Amino acid sequence: MVEADFFVATNGNDSWSGRLPEPNADRTDGPFASLKRARDAVREEISKGLKKDIVVLIRGGTYYLEETVVFGLQDSGGSFTITYAAYPGEKPVFSGGVKIEGWRKLEEEEEPEVWKRLPPEARGKVWVADVPAELGRFYTLYDGDKRLPRARSAGFMPEKEGTYDLLYFPKGAIRNWPNLEDVEIVIRPTNPWVVNILSLESVDETACVAKTAIPGTYPLTKLVRGPDRDSPSCWVENVIDFLDEPGEWVLNTRERRLYLWPRGDSPGDQIIAPRLRELIRVEGKIDFDGPEDTPVRNLVFKGLTFTHGDRDVWTKDDAGLQHDWEMYDKANALVRLRGAEGCVIEECHFKNSGGTAIRLDLYCQNNRITKNLIEHMGGTGILLCGYGPGTKDVNKRNEVSNNHIHHCGEIYWHSAGIFIWQSGENLIANNLIHDMPYNGIVVSGVRPSYFNTPDKRECSRTIRWKEVGDAREWQDIIPFLHARNNIIENNEIYRVMEMLADGNGIYISGAGEGNIIRRNYIHHVLGRGTNAAIRTDGWQRGTTITENIIYKCRGGITRKSLNHIENNIIVDIEEGGYIQFRSFPGEEKTYGSRIQKNIFYCSGERAVFYEARATRAVTLPKDCEADYNLFYCAGNPEWSSKYLEELRQDGIEKHSISADPLFVDIENGDFRLKPDSPALKLGFKPIDISTRYYK
């Protein structure tokens, strides 16, 4: 028999001892029925004084949670470890949803006004159910393991420039529907790197203007940049008028009715609506305004599956991180650590949910997030979110390793695979990230401009104003930027940037100094709006980008400010420069970036190895310490030789060469160098590929 201190099973009973893995013969004792009861039993053991580690094993099956299971200080293992794990060989699933039952086919006689508004193709195919009493408003719906799309209108472009909360729409695109509070607009406002989902407060059909309940990130107008700027950037969701395809649904909270055009002949018995956004929260004592928090310690969650959480909904009180890509200190993840140390989330599966998978908020140190599978999430894969700029720097030294993250950001397209905000000294290693609508990995903090806009949702509201004093300039702000000394290494990233624009495989901006991006393999990032495989953006310095392999991406590495690019292999960049030199207006002028010992290889006849827009690039290639690099165009070696000579006229690349680097097998993606490679003579250090990939 498998040994453990307590057991949980779907056929258990919370009045039993929980000491047996299955019910006994006369069903007088056996496992618990719920995680909450197991937590309470462990809590009782802790109160007696632990003398050993505690293990709770959870049998296979689905557990529908009625409320978030919260682990507090009384559940902390202290010097011992408390583990909640899957029973060997079994798959326990925790769902935040409720099954919808009592479906009936919608008839014209039952609801003539709804029938009239239905598209003709949907009449006779839509089913309706009453919303269970235990459910409030929900924003996602699932058919078993598949998230179903809400009914949506055709896309349109705003008619003219709006404000942050006023949208001018084409006549007839938006109406003053009876249940307007249920209707949301989805819009890419002004800039192509964020998606807003905003509820409507009022609609004036005559003036063709809609007012949103909260402001957007930017003015609600058409896109002004990016490849989609001439395409429809806005649509309406959750309106019965647009329920025109199988799988779509609409919720009317006034009538408490759910409408669905099922994918099959009927809805079946697996239509699930979420009632929770958070399934598990580990929460210590948070002294938000004070200097010291007390964390929960040494909890382990292993081999568990989490699903069916709801989508995040922005509120008037939210504080946004950079570009509102996530919200600050918010309960929008399936599993959330908020005041935790030495905790582990390992070999868990996060799938088919509307929000973020894992968050580490505020005080979080020495936690390990490893070997998890995260897929088909509406928001971010993994978020480390420390305190806003100030003297309180307590989100650090966490490990995020060997996770497989794909198809996240399916609702909020701007969501990253891994997002590190105001969190430092972390190890982000050996993760596999692919099939994402926007960035793969983001490291960021707060840029100087937000220190001059104190009530802006984006970033400004996170600043700890009493602690930063009069700091307003970059140099004064740097001590309060805590996303420093992170190591981003051995990650593989591909097929990101599939939807939005002006993004990257790995992105870092407004963070602290000392970050290292090394030995990552970034390939086939070819979205039309891709900026670069790796990018240091505005107000970022002290970053080292080294030993990375970049292959078949739309752009190579974007360098802004004083950051170093050394010992990288960049091959077959599709359109942008292999190295792009950029800067924000008003950034400090910085010189001396090292661009050294890199291999720039093009299979074709010519390439833009260095690209600098003189109107924006404060520091041009000639202002950097650019040398000992290898340039080569396999289809036209004379061209790369000529290119190098032109660079030398600016006094750089004195020792660089144009020569074949002699890869072992570039056709099959083997970028090892043959022993007689001329790059080795330049001091290029072979890149160790043995530990790069996700395991």
End-to-end CA distance of the chain: 30
159 in Cβ contact with 169 (< 8 Å):
yes
Q: Is the pLDDT of residue 668 over 90?
A: no
Q: Is the pLDDT of residue 504 over 80?
A: yes
Given this model, what pLDDT does residue 592 score?
Answer: 86
When pLDDT is cut at 50, 70 and 90, the band that residue 419 belongs to is very high
Nearest partner of 126 among 272, 256, 249, judged by Cα: 249
Task: Quote the CA–CA distance of 271 and 169 in Å, as a whole number.
Answer: 34
When pLDDT is cut at 50, 70 and 90, the band that residue 693 belongs to is low
Sheet holding 146-148, edge to edge: 97-99, 271-274, 141-143, 146-148
Each residue's pLDDT tens digit, 380-408: 999 999 999 999 999 999 999 999 999 99
Partners of residue 518 on adjacent β-strands: 489, 546
Per DSSP bridges, beta strands 127-130 and 104-105 are antiparallel
Q: Which residues, in sequence order, are CB contacts of 212 under 8 Å at separation 6+?
A: 165, 166, 167, 185, 198, 199, 200, 201, 220
Identify the three-state secondary structure at position 664: strand
Q: Is the pLDDT of residue 695 over 60?
A: no
Task: Quote the CA–CA distance of 72 and 55 in Å, as a whole number.
Answer: 17
Q: What percent of the chain has pLDDT over 70?
A: 97
Given this model, what pLDDT does residue 692 score?
Answer: 61
Sign of CA dihedral 313, 314, 315, 317: positive
Given this model, what pLDDT does residue 589 score?
Answer: 65
Partners of residue 167 on adjacent β-strands: 210
Task: Burial-class residue 655 by CB neighbours within 10 Å (0-12, 13-18, 19+).
Answer: exposed
Q: Which residue has the higher pLDDT, 226 or 399?
A: 399
Tokens of 188: 């890419």
Given this model, what pLDDT does residue 455 score?
Answer: 85
Q: What percent of the chain has pLDDT over 90?
A: 91
Mean pLDDT for 543-558 is 97
Strand ranges for 430-554 from DSSP E: 432-434, 441-444, 487-489, 492-494, 503-509, 516-518, 521-523, 530-536, 544-546, 549-551
Nearest partner of 387 among 295, 248, 286, judged by Cα: 286
Nearest partner of 365 among 388, 395, 400, judged by Cα: 395
Each residue's pLDDT tens digit, 16-35: 999 999 999 999 999 999 99
How far is CA 513 from each of CA 402, 471, 561, 592, rounded to the nearest angstrom? 25, 17, 12, 16
Q: Is the pLDDT of residue 566 over 60?
A: yes
Q: Is the pLDDT of residue 545 over 70?
A: yes
Mean pLDDT for 430-448 is 97
Given this model, what pLDDT does residue 254 score?
Answer: 96
Backbone φ and ψ of 394, nearest 5°: -130, 15
220 in Cβ contact with 163 (< 8 Å):
yes
Mean pLDDT for 114-123 is 96
Mean pLDDT for 520-537 is 95
When pLDDT is cut at 50, 70 and 90, the band that residue 77 belongs to is confident
Give 285's DSSP letter. B
When pLDDT is cut at 50, 70 and 90, the band that residue 691 belongs to is low
Given this model, what pLDDT does residue 571 score?
Answer: 97
Which range among 481-485, 544-548, 586-590 shows the weakest confidence by mean pLDDT?
A: 586-590
Task: Quote the CA–CA distance of 409 and 533 in Å, as a whole number.
Answer: 19
Given this model, what pLDDT does residue 173 score?
Answer: 97
585 in Cβ contact with 618 (< 8 Å):
no
Tell me the whole-structure pTM to 2 decimals: 0.97
Mean pLDDT for 322-346 is 98
Given this model, what pLDDT does residue 249 score?
Answer: 98
Token look-up 């490291």 returns 443
Tokens of 64: 């529908």
Q: Is the pLDDT of residue 618 over 80?
A: no
Mean pLDDT for 213-222 is 96
Q: Is the pLDDT of residue 495 over 60?
A: yes
For the chain, helix, strand, coil in percent to 5 are 10, 35, 55
Q: Which residue has the higher pLDDT, 278 or 616?
A: 278
Mean of the per-residue pLDDT values for the chain? 95
Q: Is the pLDDT of residue 266 over 90?
A: yes
- Concatenating the DSSP letter of every residue in 200-246 gives EEEEETTTTEEEESS--SS-SS---SSTTTTS--EEEES-GGG--ST
Give CB contacts under 8 A, 24+ apart, made by 43-49.
43/74, 43/75, 45/5, 46/74, 46/75, 46/76, 46/77, 46/78, 46/82, 47/74
Task: Burial-class residue 119 by CB neighbours within 10 Å (0-12, 13-18, 19+).
Answer: middle
Q: Can you give the length of the chain in residues?
A: 695
